[in-house]
Amino acid sequence: MRAILLATALLALAPPVMAQSRDDVIAAPVLRAQVSVSGELVRIGDLIDNAGAAGTIAVYRAPDLGTTGSLPTAQVVATLRAHQVIGVDTRDLAEISVTRLARTLGAKDIGLQVSRAIEHRGGLGDAVNLSLTFDTDPQDIRLDSTNSGSLQPVAARLDPRNGRFDVSLEIANDGAAPTRLRFTGTAIETAEAAVLTRNVDRNEILKASDITMERRPKAEVGNDNAMRDGAIGLQARRSLRAGQPLKTADLAKPDLVTRDQSVTLTYESAGIYLTIRAKALENGAEGDVVSVLNLQSKRTVTGTVTGRNQVSVSGLMPRTPVADSSATPATMGSIDPPAQVAVAANAN
């Protein structure tokens, strides 16, 4: 703690205090170990109890706002004796501490009040979605403790072309003129965005660790922004960079069927269920219609992707009825599956 210097000018200007008579003495003055003051000056009445008529005499400059200083007891006693205050009970204190009371305005609170002053102006949204850049960083501001009123905006201007703001805030004082604070800077509206934590290749499936949520300028995010929970498990349509906000157009359902890979082709019709190996001729996600090559008949058919390496063709009816119960199952459409294909006849 820094020492508080004796204000010698104050001693020179202070009127002398007449010695107290025996009849005036009610109680001996007692030194206080800790002193708190709200103004710039420390008075005798702040330092001791039972100061009497000398209580209003200023003897020291107070520390800076919100700080604490120390005074050696011997120095305080000498100062009091100079003002005819004698017989002080020091309680064997070596020093006393003096704290200058202050009101602290946090930078976060200042930013919130400025945001509220300009929200919904010039096309901006709610205050909680605004990001402010001050011309001078407000940090934490300390004011005299007499500034007891609430922090209120009294004037606000915003240029919608560049987001420049000019806001004045005011605090009411106890019995004094209000304190006004002015802040200028730039405001932009932000939005939650799903951002990649690493580079992602085309067709790669996104995992939870690949995505984080950040606030980004709304103009950068746009109206097509993807949310993290919805993006996990989807496939990148193209190569994407780390730090890039994800858009719904960047993502697709993952391919369950991949071009040139082997798939199981299922034929379904009334009373008949057939499966055969085939080769996919294109990629496809669940529900997509893709072309596949029947490896036995060498014919190309289209079907719907129903699962991992699963394609279904439904609604095909036999082209020629079966005349002999011992004959090979009827060919379906133009597929002509071979005799070794698995056949399951459903009893209807």
DSSP notation for 156-222 = EEEETTTTEEEEEEEEEETTEEEEEEEEEEEEEEEEEEEEESS-B-TTPBP-GGGEEEEEEEHHHH-
Q: How many CB atoms lie within 10 A of CB 181?
A: 18
**What is the pLDDT, as a whole number, of residue 174?**
73
- CA–CA separation, 211 and 193 (whole Å): 10
Domains of the chain: 2-100 (2.60.480), 105-190 (no CATH), 196-254 (3.90.1210.10), 256-345 (2.30.30.760)
Burial readout 183-209 (b: 16 or more C-beta within 10 A, e: otherwise): bebebbbbbebbbbeeebeeeeebeee
Q: pLDDT-derived band of residue 136, with 50, 70 and 90 as boundaries?
A: very high
Q: Is the Cβ–Cβ distance between 62 and 4 less than 8 Å? A: yes
- CA–CA separation, 33 and 71 (whole Å): 10
Under 8 Å CB-to-CB from 179, ≥6 apart: which residues? 143, 147, 170, 171, 173
What digits encode the pLDDT tens for the residues 42-100? 999 999 999 998 999 999 999 999 999 999 999 999 999 999 999 999 999 999 999 99
- For residue 180, pLDDT over 50 is answered with yes
Going from the C-alpha of 52 to that of each of 19, 29, 31, 57, the distances in angstroms are 11, 9, 13, 11
What digits encode the pLDDT tens for the residues 192-248? 999 999 999 988 889 999 999 999 999 888 888 888 888 998 989 899 999 989 999
- For residue 2, pLDDT over 70 is answered with no
Q: Is the Cβ–Cβ distance between 179 and 165 less than 8 Å? A: no
- CA–CA separation, 287 and 166 (whole Å): 55
